[in-house]
A and B are shown apart, each in its own frame.
Chain A
Amino acid sequence: MTGTALELAAAVRAGDRSAVDVVEEYLAVVAAREPELHACNLVTGDSARAAAAALDAAVARGEDPGPLAGVPIVLKDNLCTRGVPTTCSSRILEGWCPPYTATVVERVVAAGAIPIAKTNLDEFAMGSSTENSAFGPTRNPRDPSRVPGGSSGGSAAAVAAGYAPLGLGSDTGGSIRQPAALCGVVGVKPTYGLVSRFGLVAFASSLDQIGPFAATVADAALLLDVIAGHDAADSTSISGVRERVLPVIDGGVDGLRVGIVEELTDAEGIQPEVVAAVETASRALEQAGATVDRVSIPSAVYGLSAYYLIAPAEASSNLARYDGVRYGLRVDGEDVATMNARTRGSGFGPEVKRRIMLGTYALSAGYYDAYYGQAQRVRTLIIRDFARAYEHFDVLLSPTSPTVAFELGAKTTDPLAMYLSDICTIPSNLAGHPAMSVPYGTGEGGLPIGVQVLAPALGEPVMFRTARVLERSVA
C-alpha cells in the first residue's frame, strides 16, 4: 500500500505528492479487487478525481487543505451525500439522492479527505455479515469465501483491501468493531454523542454511532479527531471541549488498571484462539506497566436480549417513513394503505422485515412493559454495572467477535446464530460507552482476530493509548 493516512496527508500538504496521483493509485486498487469483493455500492471516481485536482490547486496556491489532505476515504452507504445515491443497501431507497450531506461527511471533506466510494452494508445496517445487502454480499479480502462481518462490512473490507486508508461506518451493536475484527483492521465506536448522527440514516437512534476504520490506531485517532465534536443539528450530540486523541495515543499504559470482562470472554461459543488472543493481549499490557485483573459484569450477558428488543423497537419506528409517499420505491395500490403495504413488502428484505415485526410487537399495548420496558431496565443495569467496573478499572478488555470470519451462507438461515456475533460488542452500545477493535494475531485458517478495548464515556484517550500499545506488541 501507499502509506498511512498520516503520511499521505503530510506528503500532500507539503506538496511532495499530488492528491490526483494518490487518488488514482487507490482507484486502481479498487478496480483490481472490486469485481471479486463487491465492497462498494458506488465508486465515485470522477468526483474523487475532481476533488483531488481542486485540492492540488489549493496546495499550489499555498493553502492548507487540512489534516486529511488528499486522503481517500470510503463512506458507508447509510451516510447521506448530497446528490449522490444513498441506498442503505435497500431496494426501498434505490436511486434516492439526498438533498443534503451528513455532518461527518462534511467534516472529513472540509479536512481534505476525498470520498471515493459508498460502501456496501447489511440492509439498513441490520446484520453481522453484509449478506443482508439487497445488492449482494461483500467478501472478506483475507479470504473471499468468508464474510467481512457487518453491518459495515463494505467499509471494513475496503480499508483491509487497500481501497482507501480510511473508512467511515456506523455501529449500533458492533457494526464497526465486528467487521474490523473479521477483516483485520482497526474499528472504533466512539462515545454516544461524540460524533454527530445528522445525516446517518437511522437504524436505532439511541444506539447508533458513527466511527472510523483505519489500518492503524494512529490513523483511526486522526479520523476521530476530525469527526468528533458538537453539532447543533443533533440534539444528542455532546457539547463542550473535548480532548483530542491523536496527540496522546503514545501515552502508554503504565499504571493503568485493565480488566478482562469474564462474561464476554469466557462465554460459550467463543473460539479458543480468540480467548487466547485476549490473554496474550493482556500480558502485553502488563509488560507495558498495566495491572490486569478479571472483572465480572453480570448484566452483560443480558445485553444481547435487551438489544434485540430496543434496537428493533426503535427501528420499527425509524423505518416507518419508507412508505412510498415521498421518495424511494413506490409500488402502487388502489388506496394509500395498500400502496404503503406493497411498497414496504417489496422494498424491504427479510431481516429488516423480521426486525420491524419484532420491534412493533415489543412496543405494542399490553406487551410494552414486558418487552421494551424490561429491556430498558436491563439497559439501566448494564450502565450501572459498567460504572461500578470503571470504579476499579481504567479500561476493559474482551474479544470483539466470538469467532474469526465465517463462510458466506454459514449463518444466513439461523438468525439467532448470526445475532450471537455481536454478543461482545452490544454492551458498549447499550451503555453509550466507547469501544474499539484492534487486530491481534490470527486464528482458524490464518484469519484475523480482533481484541476489543472498552472505556467509560469519553474515555477515548485512554482507550486509544491502550490500543496503541496492543498494536505495537503484536508487530
Chain B
Amino acid sequence: MSLDVTTDYEPVMGLEVHVELATATKLFCGCANEFGAEPNTHVCPVCLGLPGSLPVLNAQAVELVLRFAEAVNLHVPARSIFSRKNYFYPDMPKDYQISQYEEPITVDGWIEIDGTRIGIERAHLEEDTGKTMHVGGGGRIHEATSSLVDYNRAGVPLMEIVSRPDIRSAEQARAYVSELRAVLLAIGASDGKLEEGSMRVDANVSVRPRGSSELGVKVEIKNMNSLRSLGRAIDSEIERQIGALAAGERIVQETRHWNEADGRTHSMRSKEGSSDYRYFPEPDLVPIAPTDEMRERIRAAMPELPAARRERLVAEWGIGETDARVLVAAPGLAAYAEAAVLVLTDGTPRDVVNWCTGDVLAHLNESGLSPEVLPLAPDGLAELVGLVAGGALSRNQAKDVLDECLREPKRPKQVVEERGLAQVSDVGELGAVIDAIIAANPADADEYRNGDDKVRKKKRGFFMGEAMKATRGQGNPQLLTRLLDERLGNDS
C-alpha cells in the first residue's frame, strides 16, 4: 500500500460499548451481581428463566443509566420499553434476551473528546447472558466433548452505549472509550474494566474516499480486551480495508474477530442464514417512565465529571493537562490526591500529583489495589511531601520510604526513624564533614582551586561522593554543594 492511498481514504467508525452496571443485584431478580463466585451460585427461578418466572426491573440500574444520561447529554424520553431479542443460545436461559429496541431509555447525546463532539445515538438497558465453557478439545467449541454453562452472569445489568459514526481514528476511539470509562467511574455506574469484561467494546469500522459524505461498508470488530488492542485492531482493520479497496476489491459487511497474537482481524464463521431476532415489546414488563422528581434528584446528586475535574485541578494546582488526565482516569486517584493536598503543610499540590501519577499509580497498577485501601492514607502522602519539601529527606530517600509505606501500614516518619534515614541539614555538622574531607585530600583541593571548569566539575563530584559516603547518604545535597563552594571558593 502506498502512502497516497492512505491519504485518499478516510476511516469512519462508531463504537458499541457494553458496560456491566455496578448494581447490588441483577437486572430482573434479587440475585447478587457479583463477579467471580462459584459457578451457578447466584441463580434463581427468574435468572434461570424457569417456566412461570417473571422479571421485575431493578430500580438502581435505571438510576445508573439516568446518571449516565446526565453526564453525556442524553435525552430521556418520558416513556421507554423493553423488547425481547429472540435467538437460541444455551447460555441464554430464556432463549431470548430482554433488551431495548424501539423506544430506548436514552437517546441522542454527546461527549466531548479533545475538543471534538462524539455523538451518542443511544444508551439502553439489557440483560447479560451466562458463560459457556467447552470441555475437551482445548476449549474450542468444535472440538469440545461437552459444554458447561455458568448462569451467574445471566441477568447481570448491561448498559449498551452506541456512538454515532463520528470517530475518525484509532487514537480518537481510544480517547472516547477512555473518557467513557472515566465518566462511568465518576458516576459509580461501573468499574469499567476492559480486561475483565465489565466493559466490552465492539468497533464498526469503515473507510471511504476522503471528501465523500457517504458511509462505506462497515465491518464489526470484536474481541478487544484493552485500550491497546482496541487501537491496534482498528489500525489493522483500516489498513486491511484500504488495501482491499486500493486493490479494487469490495468490502464485505461482516463481523471480524481481533487476534491479539497475529495482530490481525479474522472473518468469523458466518452464522446460518442472516439473523432475524424477531424483536417485539416485552409483555412481562411495564414501560419505564422516570418521574420529574427522580430526574431532579439524580441531577442534584451528580458528582463532578472528569472533564470538569481536570479543568479545576489544572487551574487550582497548576499541573499539566496530561497529569490531570492520568490522575482523573485512574479510579479513586484524584480523590486520593485531593485528600492529600487538603492536609498538606509543606510542599505543593504538584509534588503530591507527581508522586500520585508516578510511584503510587505504578503500585496500584501492579497490585490491583484501589487508592482507598492503600496502607498509606492521603495524609501520609502529605507527610512524605512535607519531609522532602522541608529538606529532611532527599527525593531518592523518599522513594524508598514511599515504597515501604505502600506495602506496610507505617507512617513515613516512622520508616525514616527506623532506617535512620533523616537527611542531615545541619550546617555545622555538614561543614565539619567537608572540612575533614578537604584536610584529608589536600592535593585534590589544590587541583580544584587551580583547575578549569572541567576539572572543577570532576573534583566537585569527587568531594560530593566522599561527603555522601561520610554521611551515609543522608547529607542534604544542596547544602553540601553550597558548603563545598564556600570552602573551596567558587568564582566561576
In the complex, what residues of A have CB within 8 A of residue B439's CB? Answer: none
**In the complex the two chains form, what is the Cα distance from A200 to B50 in whole Å?**
11
Instruction: Flag if A327 contacts B95 (CB, 8 Å).
Output: no
The CA-CA distance from A54 to B94 in the complex, in Å, is 38
CA gap between A360 and B276 in the complex, in Å: 10
The A interface is mostly helix, strand or loop, or mixed, namely loop
Q: How far is the CA of A320 from the CA of B279 in the complex (A)?
A: 14
A365 within 8 A of B: yes
- Return the chain B residue nearest A124 by Cβ: B51
User: Roughly how many angstroms separate A80 CA and B46 CA in the complex, as a whole number?
Assistant: 13
Residues of B within 8 A of A86 (CB): 51-52
In the bound complex, residues from chain B placing their C-beta under 8 Å from that of A364 are 276, 278
Q: Which residues of B contact A473 (CB under 8 A)?
A: none
B48 touching A326, Cβ below 8 Å: yes
B285 at the interface (CB under 8 A from A): yes
- Contacts A205-B283, A326-B93: A320 and B88 contacting too (C-beta < 8 A)? yes
The answer to whether the Cβ of B55 comes within 8 Å of any Cβ in the partner chain is yes
Q: A82 CB to closest chain B CB, in angstroms?
A: 10
Mask: chain B, 59-99; 1 = CB below 8 Å from A; 0 = not: 00000000000000000000000001010101001111000
* A198 CA to B45 CA, complexed, in Å: 11
- Given contacts A99-B45, A317-B84, A340-B88, are A234 and B276 in contact (CB under 8 A)? no
Contact A325 B90 (CB under 8 A): yes
Q: Is the CB–CB distance between A202 and B276 below 8 Å?
A: no
Please determine whether A235 and B48 come into contact, CB atoms closer than 8 angstroms: no
Instruction: Return the CB mask of B281-319 against A: 1 if under 8 Å, else 0.
Output: 001111000000000000000000000000000000000
- Contact of A321 with B94 in the complex, beta carbons under 8 Å: yes
Q: How many chain A residues touch B (Cβ–Cβ < 8 Å)?
A: 44
Q: Is A412 an interface residue (CB 8 A)?
A: no
Residue of chain A at shortest CB distance from B86: A317
Query: Scoring A residues 335 to 359 as 1 if CB is less than 8 Å from chain B, else 0, what string do you get?
Result: 0110010000000000000000000
Q: Is the CB of B52 within 8 A of A320?
A: no
Given known A-B contacts A317-B86, A323-B90, A340-B88, A235 and B51 have beta carbons under 8 A apart: no
Q: Contact between B50 and A320 (Cβ–Cβ < 8 Å)?
A: no
Asked if B345 is an interface residue, CB under 8 A from chain A, the answer is no
Report chain B residues within 8 Å CB of A102.
Answer: 52
B56 touches A232 (CB 8 A): yes
* A80, A233, A235, A321: the one within 8 Å of B49 (CB): A321
- Are B285 and A98 in contact (CB-based, < 8 A)? no
- The reply to whether the CB of A91 lies closer than 8 angstroms to some CB of chain B is no
Which of B278, B279, B284 contacts A236, CB < 8 Å?
B284
| Min CB gap B394→A, angstroms | 64
Name B52's contact: one of A80, A316, A337 (CB within 8 Å): A80
Residue of A nearest to B85 (CB): A317
Inter-chain CA distance A201–B52, complex, in Å, is 4
Which residues from B are CB-within-8-Å of A200? 52
B50 touches A98 (CB 8 A): yes
Assess A198 versus B52: contact at CB under 8 Å? Given A236-B284, A364-B276: yes
A199: nearest residue on chain B (CB-CB)?
B52
Q: Which residue of B lies closest to A328 (CB)?
A: B51
Within the assembled complex, what's the spacing in Å between the Cα atoms of A372 and B147? 36
Residue of A nearest to B49 (CB): A321
Q: Return chain A residues, CB-CB under 8 Å to B90.
A: 323, 325, 336
Q: Within residues 84 to 134 of chain A, which ones have a CB less than 8 A from any CB in chain B?
A: 86, 88, 93, 96, 98-100, 102
CA of A313 to CA of B56, assembled, Å: 22
Q: Assess the B93–A320 pair: CB atoms within 8 A.
A: no
A365 to B45 CA separation, bound complex (whole angstroms): 31
Are the C-beta atoms of A320 and B95 separated by less than 8 Å? Answer: yes
Contact indicator B51/A363 (Cβ below 8 Å): no
Task: Verify A372–B280 contact, CB threshold 8 A.
Answer: yes
Chain B residues near A442: list those with CB within 8 A.
none
Given A317-B96, A363-B280, the answer on whether A323 and B54 have CB atoms closer than 8 Å is: no
Return the chain A residue nearest B280 by Cβ: A363
Looking at the assembled complex, report how far the CB atom of A307 sits from the nearest CB atom of chain B, in whole angstroms: 14
Whether the Cβ atoms of B94 and A206 lie closer than 8 Å is no
Q: Which chain B residue lies CB-closest to A325?
A: B90
Give the contact-size bracket for chain B. Answer: 20 to 34
B55 touches A235 (CB 8 A): yes
Contacting pair A198 B96 (CB below 8 A) = no
Asked if A197 is an interface residue, CB under 8 A from chain B, the answer is yes
Residue in chain B with minimal CB distance to A93: B51
From the candidates A99, A205, A337, name the one contacting B50 in the complex (CB within 8 A): A99
Q: How far is the CA of A234 from the CA of B284 in the complex (A)?
A: 8
Nearest B-chain residue to A320, judged by Cβ = B95
Partner of B57, one of A88, A235, A340: A235
Q: What is the interface of chain B mostly: helix, strand, loop, or mixed?
A: loop
Contact between B284 and A205, CB atoms less than 8 A apart: yes
**Which residue on B lies nearest to A322, using beta carbons?**
B51
Does A236 lie within 8 Å of B50, measured CB to CB? no
> Does B53 touch A at the CB level, under 8 Å?
yes
User: What residues on B are CB-neighbors of A98 within 8 Å?
Assistant: 45, 50-52
CB distance from A108 to the nearest CB of B (A): 16
Cross-chain contact B280 with A233 (CB below 8 angstroms) = no
Task: Judge whether A327 and B286 touch: CB under 8 Å.
Answer: no
Q: Give Cα A78–Cα B56 distance, bound, in whole angstroms.
A: 21
Of residues 357 to 398 in A, which have CB atoms within 8 Å of B's CB atoms? 360, 363-365, 368, 372
* B50 lies within 8 A of A327 (CB): yes
A34 proximal to B (CB < 8 A): no
> Is A314 a contact of B88 with CB atoms below 8 Å?
no
Q: Which residue of A lies closest to B274 (CB)?
A: A365
Q: Which of B48, B147, B284: most chain A Cβ within 10 A?
A: B284
Question: Which residue from chain B places its CB closest to the CB of A341 in the assembled complex?
Answer: B88
Tell me the bound Cα distance from A200 to B45 in angstroms. Answer: 13
Residues of B within 8 A of A99 (CB): 45, 50
B149 contacts partner chain A, Cβ-Cβ < 8 Å: yes
Query: Considering residues B45, B55, B278, B284, which has the most beta carbons from chain A within 10 angstroms of its beta carbon?
Result: B278
Cross-chain contact A206 with B283 (CB below 8 angstroms)? yes
When the two chains form their complex, are residues A320 and B283 in contact, meaning their CB atoms are under 8 A apart? no
Q: Which residue of A lies closest to B82 (CB)?
A: A235
Name the distance in Å between B3's Cβ and chain A's nearest Cβ.
Answer: 43
Q: How far is the CB of B422 from chain A (nearest CB, A)?
A: 65
Q: Mark A189-202, 1 if CB is under 8 A from B, else 0.
A: 00000000111111
- Residues of B contacting A340 with CB < 8 Å? 88
Cα of A427 to Cα of B149 in the assembled complex, Å: 42
**Bound form: Cα–Cα A365–B48 in Å:** 28
| Chain B residues in 8 Å Cβ range of A96 | 51
User: What A residues does B53 contact at CB under 8 A?
Assistant: 100, 198-199
Q: Which residues of B contact A320 (CB under 8 A)?
A: 86, 88, 94-96
Which of B52, B88, B96, B283 gathers the greatest number of chain A CB atoms within 10 Å? B52
Nearest neighbor of A205 in chain B, beta-carbon distance: B283
Contact of A197 among B54, B149, B276, B278 (CB under 8 A): B54
Please state if B84 and A202 are interface contacts (CB–CB under 8 Å).
no
Residues of chain B lying within 8 A (CB to CB) of residue A204 = 283
A145 to nearest B CB, angstroms? 33
- Docked CA distance A321–B52 (Å): 11
Closest to B88 in A: A340
Set of chain A residues within 8 Å of B54, measured between Cβ atoms: 197-198, 233-235
8 Å CB interface, A51-99 against B: 78-80, 86, 88, 93, 96, 98-99
Flag if B95 contacts A360 (CB, 8 Å). Answer: no
Tell me which residues across on chain B come within 8 A of A316, comparing CB atoms. 86, 278
The 9 listed contacts between A and B (C-beta, < 8 Å) are A98-B45, A202-B284, A206-B283, A232-B56, A233-B56, A235-B286, A316-B86, A321-B51, A365-B276
Q: Which of B's residues lie within 8 Å of A, judged by CB?
A: 45, 48-57, 84, 86, 88, 90, 93-96, 147, 149, 276, 278-280, 283-286
Q: A234-B54, A336-B90, A365-B276 are in contact. List 14 more A-B contacts (CB 8 A).
A: A80-B52, A86-B51, A93-B51, A100-B50, A197-B54, A198-B52, A200-B52, A204-B283, A235-B285, A236-B283, A313-B280, A320-B95, A326-B93, A372-B280
- A positions within 8 Å CB-CB of B: 78-80, 86, 88, 93, 96, 98-100, 102, 197-202, 204-206, 232-236, 313-314, 316-317, 320-321, 323, 325-327, 336-337, 340, 360, 363-365, 368, 372
- Which 4 interchain pairs have the tightest Cβ spacing? A320-B95, A206-B283, A363-B278, A205-B283
